[in-house]
Amino acid sequence: MSFTHAGRTLSKVAVIGSGQIGPDIALYFAKVLSPFGVRTVVVDVSEDALAKGKAKLEKKVGKGVESGAFTAEQQAQMVGSVTFTSDYGQVKGADLVVEAATENKELKGKIFAQVEDLVAPDAILVSNSSHLEPEVIFAGTRRKDRTGVVHYFFPAERNLMVEVVPGKDTSAATRAWLLSFYEAIGKVPIPVKSRYGYALDPVFEGLFFACALLAEAGVGTTKQIDVVCKQTFKMGVGSFTAMNLTGGNPITAVGLDNYTTKINMWYRTPQSLKDKVAKKENWDTPARGEQIDVPAALAAQIRDDLLGAYFGICGEIVDAGLVTVADFNMGLEIALDMKPAFTFMNELGTRKALELVRAYAKKHPGFPVPKCIEAHGAENKPFAVPVVLREDVPGRIAVLTIRRPKVLNALDQGVFEELRTHFQQCDADPKIDGIVLTGFGKKAFVSGADVKFLARIDSPAMGEKTSRASQVCVDAIQAVKKPTVAALNGLAFGGGIETAMACETRIATKGLRVLAGQPEANLGIIPGAGGTVRLPRLVGIERANEMLRTCRPISSEQALAYGLIREEVDGDVVARAIALCRDMADGKAKRSRMDEGPLQNVPASLPAVDIGHRSKKVDEILQKAILGAAKLPLKDAIPFEAKCFGEVCGTEDMRIGVDNFLQNGPKAKAAFVHR
């Protein structure tokens, strides 16, 4: 058995190193690849490290069973698929090798010299380095074209981010395969150009350095600085605590000294860190539940200092051209679990951000004021941080990808606006013949709309206005004259399926037990982006009636039978969407634009369904929306839905449903009062 992706087949993967991160990398491979029969081999020269690594992996899988993340059968499959061994001969036959040894270029070079003789010439070799340039790691490798760095983040089995760093000799095909492979197995890869430390570690270590400087200057205690750091950047823990948890003191001490010559003169290893490394001590940080007093004036001083450092560090990385703003922003949020810098600067105002960076640079010689922040701050212009990405592929097709992996590509008004702009631009672009819309990753096309905006609706008028804002953007998709295909790579709920229904046709990954659903009534609302209008036109009133009022989702098989999708795809759904879109543009495949007139034979009332615990008042308005919209042409039916959405926003049950969702999550049933 094996796992095949983009023309490359994996039957065995090897992880070199059973220290802090190697077993976690192996655990992730076991989780995603063992169902395909792929074996994972972990190699280390230390029998003690192997024993500890094996125990660590088995303990984490066991905890997964206790929490319900894995079944007992999955546990046996995962654990049974991993071999821990000191025999390097076990690497033979591996199609992908991930080295996760100590951050030492001589050791890494020695490992790859040994591994290269054991694997096939086309096997891909990557290093989970945190700092070293691929050109340094693979200097002695014969086939540099199939090498690169894939930098995992702590904890590697749960943190989805990986930096993919090609060297100057890495082939474009290897780079592209690594990016698509890691996305296919559920990670969130970003491409980063080669420089010591890459894009994200200089932020992690640089912010820590800024905290250490404050402590050394006596501005505050490490506990006080840690608390303010955590609060300022919305982090799970502050920089000092993070350093303790990751065991990062030694590697950070080396990294900061190298940054001095490889990035700029501000970076250096502070004396306090040298002392901690020499004594093998942790930092003094708040204990669990300990309350730390930080006077308001001191908190403001620490906050402004850290903001100036953070913004400046991130701006320099963008100036260096290592990574795009969109990729970097996402990396900061996922890998480092902190408020991303460019969103932060936009909210604060880029002029204010520039002031903070300039103030920090004035106090710290060698700290640069980045050109990108100078340019934006001078005009107080926000940074563009797109979450809808466009790629024009051969065949004159534009592929638009909604990429918000942390919220399973959920939509907010900003995403709707980006979609509207992209579809209109592609429709007007003479170099483009068709458009494919998809979602990032393998779990979701779009999980729905961001519910938080609903909590801000305070009147029926505001509700109608909110609905219309989304509808105008979705309508712009349907107005496109060129072929449009939605490639449903995972679940499409709420606003996601509403957006997909505005495309000319839809296809989906085969075998999805849960594909499409309109769960709005669970929240005490109704669809507000065209769901009550387009769904009946695509699947018929009776089926739409049941889906909308019971909130029961349907599988990809059902969606095909209902006519909601055109095909189930066994394989790469985006590649098939591109081919179908091209054929539609060429006249080789049938076009299927929606009839924009009223529906025929609209019943006087809808068939009865069991709505369960859901609001009877909301259901009454939902039925009115379905029947009323069916009798109208599309151009009038869409605003009619918005009026009904506004009416729902005047009910008690809407507030009850939204509050319940935000406080208790999607699985908790709201106690509706039917008013």
Q: Is 672 helix (H, G, I), strand (E, B) or coil?
A: coil
Residue 323: the pLDDT is 98
Chain-centre distance of CA 496, in angstroms?
16
Residue pair 200/338 in contact by the 8 Å Cβ criterion? no
Residue pair 2/37 in contact by the 8 Å Cβ criterion? yes
Q: Which two tokens stand for residue 176?
A: 């592209």
Residues 477, 362: one domain?
A: no
Residue pair 21/49 in contact by the 8 Å Cβ criterion? no
Residues 485, 342: one domain?
A: no
Average pLDDT over residues 297-322: 98
Q: Is residue 674 part of a domain?
A: no
Average pLDDT over residues 94-101: 97
**Phi-psi group of 346: left, alpha or beta (phi > 0 → left; psi -120 to 50 → alpha; rest → beta):** alpha
Q: Is residue 324 part of a domain?
A: yes
Residue pair 596/637 in contact by the 8 Å Cβ criterion? no
Residue 454: the pLDDT is 85
Residue pair 144/126 in contact by the 8 Å Cβ criterion? no
170-215 pLDDT per residue, tens: 999 999 999 999 999 999 999 999 999 999 999 999 999 999 999 9
Q: Is residue 670 part of a domain?
A: no
Q: Is residue 214 part of a domain?
A: yes
Residues 368, 420: one domain?
A: no
Active site residue 520: yes
Residue 452: the pLDDT is 83
Of 135, 163, 191, the last residue of a domain is: 191
**What contacts 69, CB < 8 A, 6 or more positions away?**
none
Strand ranges of the sheet holding 491-493, from the earlier edge strand across to the other edge: 444-446, 491-493, 516-517
Average pLDDT over residues 480-490: 98
Task: Work out the pLDDT band at 453, boundaries 50, 70, 90.
Answer: confident
Residue 451: the pLDDT is 84
Phi and psi of 631, rounded to 5°? -85, -5
Of 209, 201, 208, 240, residue with least CA distance to 224? 240
245-274 pLDDT per residue, tens: 989 999 999 999 999 999 999 999 999 999
User: What CATH number corresponds to the domain at position 368?
Assistant: 1.10.1040.50
Residues 445, 552: one domain?
A: yes
Q: Which two tokens stand for residue 244?
A: 């303790």
Alpha-helical regions (H) of 132-290: 134-137, 172-184, 201-216, 222-232, 239-246, 249-262, 271-279
Q: What is the C-alpha separation between 268 and 247, in angstroms, rounded?
A: 19
Task: Work out the pLDDT band at 1, boundaries 50, 70, 90.
Answer: confident
Selecting among 418, 464, 520, 568, the annotated active-site residue is 520
User: What CATH number corresponds to the domain at position 11?
Assistant: 3.40.50.720
Any idea what the Cα angle at residue 181 is, between residues 333 and 332, rounded to 5°? Answer: 10
Q: Is residue 545 part of a domain?
A: yes
Selecting among 418, 498, 568, 641, the annotated active-site residue is 498
Residue 204: the pLDDT is 97
Residue 455: the pLDDT is 84
Chain-centre distance of CA 466, in angstroms?
26
H/E stretch holding 402: strand 397-402
Of 191, 219, 241, the last residue of a domain is: 191
Q: By percentage, how much of the chain surpasses pLDDT 70? A: 100
For 453-456, the CB contacts below 8 A with 24+ separation are 453/412, 453/413, 454/523, 454/525, 454/654, 454/658, 455/658, 455/659, 455/662
Q: Is residue 675 part of a domain?
A: no
Please name the amino acid found at residue 436.
Answer: V
**Residue 464 clears pLDDT 90, i.e. is over it:** yes
Residue 458 CA: distances (Å) to CA of 1, 51, 234, 620, 647: 56, 59, 28, 21, 12
Residue pair 388/401 in contact by the 8 Å Cβ criterion? yes
Q: What is the C-alpha separation between 429 and 87, in angstroms, rounded?
A: 57
Q: Is 3 helix (H, G, I), strand (E, B) or coil?
A: strand
**What contacts 458, CB < 8 A, 6 or more positions away?**
none
What would the DSSP string read from start to end of 494-541? Answer: THHHHHHHHSSEEEEETT-SS-EE--GGGGT----SSHHHHHHHHH-H
Mean pLDDT estimate for the chain: 97
**What contacts 184, CB < 8 A, 6 or more positions away?**
5, 6, 442
CB-based burial label for 394 (10 Å; 0-12, 13-18, 19+): exposed
Phi and psi of 106, rounded to 5°? -65, -45
DSSP-derived pairing of the beta strands 12-16 and 39-43: parallel
Residues 294, 372: one domain?
A: yes
Average pLDDT over residues 456-473: 95
Residues 166, 104: one domain?
A: yes
Residue 449: the pLDDT is 87
Of 171, 191, 211, the last residue of a domain is: 191
Active site residue 99: no
Reported pTM:
0.93
61-89 pLDDT per residue, tens: 999 999 999 999 999 999 999 999 999 99
Total count of domains within the chain: 3
Q: Is residue 459 part of a domain?
A: yes
User: Does the bond joining 155 to the residue before it have cis omega, within 30 degrees of 0?
Assistant: yes
Average pLDDT over residues 342-362: 98
**Residue 450 clears pLDDT 90, i.e. is over it:** no
Residues 61, 207: one domain?
A: no
Any idea what the Cα angle at residue 356 is, between residues 355 and 358, rounded to 5°? Answer: 65
494-512 pLDDT per residue, tens: 999 999 999 999 999 999 9
Residues 351, 250: one domain?
A: yes
Residue 21 DSSP class: S
Residue 584: the pLDDT is 98
**Residue 487 clears pLDDT 90, i.e. is over it:** yes
**Residue 156 clears pLDDT 90, i.e. is over it:** yes
Residues 539, 414: one domain?
A: yes
Average pLDDT over residues 45-54: 97
Q: What is the C-alpha separation between 27 and 75, in angstroms, rounded?
A: 11
For the chain, the first-to-last Cα distance in angstroms comes to 57
Residues 425, 472: one domain?
A: yes
What would the DSSP string read from start to end of 152-188? Answer: E-SSTTT--EEEEE--TT--HHHHHHHHHHHHHTT-E
Q: Is residue 344 part of a domain?
A: yes
Q: What is the C-alpha separation between 503 and 78, in angstroms, rounded?
A: 40
Residues 156, 224: one domain?
A: no
Any idea what the Cα angle at residue 640 is, between residues 636 and 644, rounded to 5°? Answer: 175
What would the DSSP string read from start to end of 51-77? Answer: HHHHHHHHHHHHHHHHHTSS-HHHHHH
Q: What is the C-alpha separation between 67 and 215, in angstroms, rounded?
A: 40
The boundaries of the domain holding residue 144 are 3-191
Residues 179, 233: one domain?
A: no
User: What CATH number corresponds to the domain at position 533?
Assistant: 3.90.226.10
